[in-house]
Chain A
Amino acid sequence: MTRSRISSRWIFASVPLLAAAVLIGARTAKSGRVAVSAAPDTSAMALIARGRQGVLSHGCGGCHGGFDDPSAPGWLAGKMSDDQVFAIGACNVVHPDAKPCFKTYPRNLTPDNETGIGRFTERQIFNALRYGLRPEDTPDVDITSMTPGQGNFPAHPRYLAPPMPWPDWRHMEDADLWAIAAYLKRAVKPVHNRVPESEGPPDFWASDYAKLAGPYPSKPFPTENERVPDQNGAAPNH
């Protein structure tokens, strides 16, 4: 998985961070068993419910606040305490001063105009989840290419910091991503909580993602690591 490849390269520093990463893993794994309404329902409430389900099942709260409890204080409000700070790079508990060391901070995902996602459009949030593009740095347009500089893909993309597993979550269906954007923008109460700007390399992780992120869309099934079930739908015998 992309995330595990990143975390093996960038040694995460703190125990709470590892816990958060584990939580994300657990929830991501669980999402396969969560029933998501298959028939698209265009009513607003169904859209919100689908988005809420997406947020819960993908553990957004694990990093952005509130864990899996929408009634918890700080639900999705971003970094409020130091144990939500991620340290990426050579620094760790033993060598906190080792370089490179970048501190990144989970952003405020509530629709507060000043400190949250209030001023971003749902399309900018969709672009963040699908392409990893920081909404404040990316025009509010439909992205028409996967290659920087081509189509509407920014020539100098600025990406979300690696703890955000967008390279995995971009494989979600369009409708799920739009629903998450709708839930965040329309159905969460704004919380005023200013989060510091995350640190990172000058290219905003572009070269790292170019190396580490898998192809999108992913390669057709089956690849050399996968197998086609037999006629009964069971694992093949050989």
Chain B
Amino acid sequence: MRTIGEVMATAMMLLGTLSTPLASARIGPSSPSSPSMASDTLRQPPELRNLSRVPGIVDVELTAAPARLRLVRGGPLVDVYAYNGMVPGPTLDVHEGDSVVVHFHNKLPEVTTVHWHGLHLPAIDDGSALFPVPPGSTYVYTFRIPAGYAGTYWYHPHPDARSSYQVTMGLFGAMLVRARDDPLAALGIADKVLILSDNRFDAHGAISFPDSGSIQADVDLENGREGNVLMVNGQVMPTIQIPPGGMQRWRIIDASASRVYRLSVPGAQLIHVGSDGGLFAHALPVHDVMVANSERVEVLVQAGSTPGERMRLDDLPYDRYMPQTRPANWDSTRSLLSLVVSHAPAAPAIRVPTLLRYVPPLDTTHVAVRRVIVMSQGLIDGRKMDANRVDLHGRLGTTEIWEIQNVVGMDHPFHLHGFRFQVLDRDGVPEPFPSWKDLVNVPEHSSVRIVVHFDDFPGKWMYHCHILDHEDEGMMGVLELN
């Protein structure tokens, strides 16, 4: 029987350098002959079971409740929050045009919500902090998935001031919206969900939170909480098998509270095919791809042709930090999973279509309002969120251009609820092609212009920095549409 220390140390070895003094102080040495955790095959979270037999209706039960789960293989049972008893939560897998009914039960000892991140739906079903679900109560979320929204989304809690805690405790899950005419599915390309998360554990393997007033608490508030154990679908360094020459489609969701990943698979061909709101028009071969917290990317991965060949999904260094709180080991590369070429027969060659789908650029010739949104440390436009205040008034049926400025020395990822948008330019450099986004990372001292069309759904919508600790601190605003 291994101790949690050994398990964690194994995880650390696989992950590279220790990131916190806490971890290094408490985790003892371990022999490299400990059972390898790299032998775990990457699991896909189970689907949320559809209780409806009516075509086009998806009716699911979702419960958030405390649970005791083994978060690290071979580790102890630890206290978590879980959706339907699992971390990550089950995947909501739906099609464009579906009507979705989610019977959500809050069995947590605190207020929560379920935010359907990236979806276009009525404001009361958005699960923002403006519509809290008290403990012990049920809330029925009802929404219809519009045509053209095929993509990779996720769901997570969005209560006032407690998002970082609840997500860290285990509340996050994937949401897939599929198109019936998906060009990649038509080619038989295997589809995998990769939910990236990170966490910190104490000497007993429990999820560790800093004491208030400690330096770590300050650092977490500044950077947003980062964990030193990196997981994919809740697994440390799992393995994906791929036939020689085979191609897989990875739908990658960054469910970390604040960690930004720069992903690369040395030795494999990486083709960037989509972002938050689904496929691009054209596939784009890349060396690496950035995914900020809460952002999603879709990539095609084409492996080598030699059976037994091992590759790794690496997280390359990216400096998103304030100079004050930049982690000492920020510039080290960490590996997230192993990609192994199997001994299966070689896969037939796949030619990626020239046109994946049509992504119409939003019309920027009839713009009703141009706004400047200023993000500073913990503030938007110099203020903290007030649920009783409306910061921006907009009109339904209009198009707006927002210039989102980041005036401080660290990155802030910007999220608008309910409405997907397109990036026009970053620091004046035009975006090469239109794509659907609901989150855009705004690097330090830079600005990004986005265009958004408010076609439907009146009410109050939130926009905010998606570093969960910043969101919890009130780095948010309210947009009211009429």
- Distance in Å: Cβ of A165 to nearest Cβ of chain B: 20
**Stretch binding the partner chain, chosen from A27-35, A45-53, A134-142, A177-185:** A134-142
Residues of B within 8 A of A141 (CB): 383
Residue from B218, B219, B383 having most chain A Cβ neighbours under 10 A: B218
**Is A203 among interface residues, defined by CB-CB distance under 8 A?**
yes
Given known A-B contacts A196-B409, A197-B408, A202-B215, A136 and B377 have beta carbons under 8 A apart? yes
Number of interface residues of B (CB under 8 A): 25
- Distance in Å: Cβ of B446 to nearest Cβ of chain A: 10
Number of interface residues of A (CB under 8 A): 26
Beta-carbon nearest neighbor of A194 in chain B = B445
Beta-carbon nearest neighbor of A138 in chain B = B379
**Is A201 among interface residues, defined by CB-CB distance under 8 A?**
yes
Q: How far is the CA of A203 from the CA of B322 in the complex (A)?
A: 11
Given known A-B contacts A198-B323, A202-B219, A202-B325, A139 and B374 have beta carbons under 8 A apart? no
Residues of B within 8 A of A114 (CB): 405, 407, 447
Q: How far is the CA of A198 from the CA of B322 in the complex (A)?
A: 9
Given known A-B contacts A139-B384, A140-B383, A197-B444, A202 and B377 have beta carbons under 8 A apart? no
Residues of A within 8 A of B408 (CB): 136-137, 197
Residues of B within 8 A of A171 (CB): none
Q: How far is the CA of A200 from the CA of B410 in the complex (A)?
A: 14
**Is A199 among interface residues, defined by CB-CB distance under 8 A?**
yes
From 139 to 158 in chain A, residues with beta carbon under 8 angstroms from any chain B beta carbon are: 139-141, 154, 156, 158
Residues of B within 8 A of A196 (CB): 409
Q: How far is the CA of A140 from the CA of B374 in the complex (A)?
A: 13
Q: How far is the CA of A141 from the CA of B218 in the complex (A)?
A: 23
- Classify the secondary structure of B's interface with A: mixed
Does B376 contact A136, Cβ atoms closer than 8 Å? yes
From 298 to 329 in chain B, residues with beta carbon under 8 angstroms from any chain A beta carbon are: 322-325
**Is A121 among interface residues, defined by CB-CB distance under 8 A?**
yes
Q: Chain B 427-461 against A: per-residue CB contact (8 Å), 1 yes, 0 no?
A: 00000000000000000110100000000000000
From 211 to 237 in chain B, residues with beta carbon under 8 angstroms from any chain A beta carbon are: 215, 218-219, 221-222
- Distance in Å: Cβ of B25 to nearest Cβ of chain A: 18
Q: How far is the CA of A16 from the CA of B383 in the complex (A)?
A: 38
Beta-carbon nearest neighbor of A137 in chain B = B377
**Is A124 among interface residues, defined by CB-CB distance under 8 A?**
yes
Partner of A200, one of B324, B376, B377, B444: B324
**Is A204 among interface residues, defined by CB-CB distance under 8 A?**
yes
A-B contact list, 30 entries, CB within 8 Å? A114-B405, A114-B407, A119-B374, A119-B382, A119-B405, A120-B382, A121-B382, A134-B377, A136-B376, A136-B377, A137-B376, A137-B377, A137-B378, A139-B382, A139-B383, A140-B382, A154-B378, A156-B221, A194-B445, A196-B409, A197-B322, A197-B444, A197-B445, A198-B323, A199-B323, A200-B324, A202-B218, A203-B215, A203-B218, A204-B324
Minimum-distance CB pairs A-B, first 10:
A197-B409, A137-B377, A136-B376, A199-B323, A140-B382, A202-B325, A202-B218, A200-B324, A203-B218, A202-B219
